[in-house]
Amino acid sequence: MTKCALITGGNRGIGLAIVDGLSKLGYKVLLGARDTEHAEQALTHIPSQDVHVVDMDLASEQSIADHFSRAVATYGDIDILINNAGINLDEPFLGSNMQKMQESMQVHVLAPMQLTKLTLPGMLERNFGRIVNLSSGYGSFYEGLAGPLNYSTSKAALNALTVTSAKTVENTNVKINAMCPGWVHTRMGGKDAPRTPEQGADTAIWLACIPEDGPNGMFFRDRTPIKW
């Protein structure tokens, strides 16, 4: 049976490259996006007929639950979850706005946590699942949490979520990992970024396809483990 992958924030940049890459490998792909009209337009560049836009607004627990239930009822169980959606609400610490931190935590931590909890029971029952969290070196304590306040803090929390959730699936064929795409030429990364969305997407696609003896609870850049 064809495996089904859900990618959040899949309507542009790295997310769209992941959608394209997994569809070319023969997966059924659900392109999760808040702006479904824009996502439908983005699909004109994807040749596969088995890619479907699903409304996936990550703004609240209720909206995530409703949209996820609707997607599963329409397209079936999720075998691969890629928590790709991201925002960068940059601001200095002393002038920081708590609302912006809350929004960052919602998109980068709480939404991935809820989607992981929604997908895990079925994955464990079928003894197959791959969850990939799109993180950043800016969320690495080893690399100095060198990015903007809200972004670095929330990505560090996403890394912690990856480690703790991965412990719940040890000794199963469910794998939960995080990856850093590097500095990618996207709307968030900016025009000076040296990497293409396809280069940024490569490790996420690889982690979505790892075999049963593949890694769990690890952090990668360019398919190579890096330190938290």
Active-site residue (options: 75, 138, 142, 151): 151
Place of tokens 């040296």: 194
Q: Give pLDDT tens digits for 5-40.
A: 999 999 989 999 999 999 999 999 999 998 888 888
Enumerate the domain spans of the chain. 4-225
Q: What average pLDDT score do residues 69-87 get?
A: 97
Topology classification of domain 4-225: Rossmann fold (3.40.50)
27 is catalytic: no
Q: Give pLDDT tens digits for 30-67.
A: 999 988 888 888 888 787 779 999 999 999 999 999 99
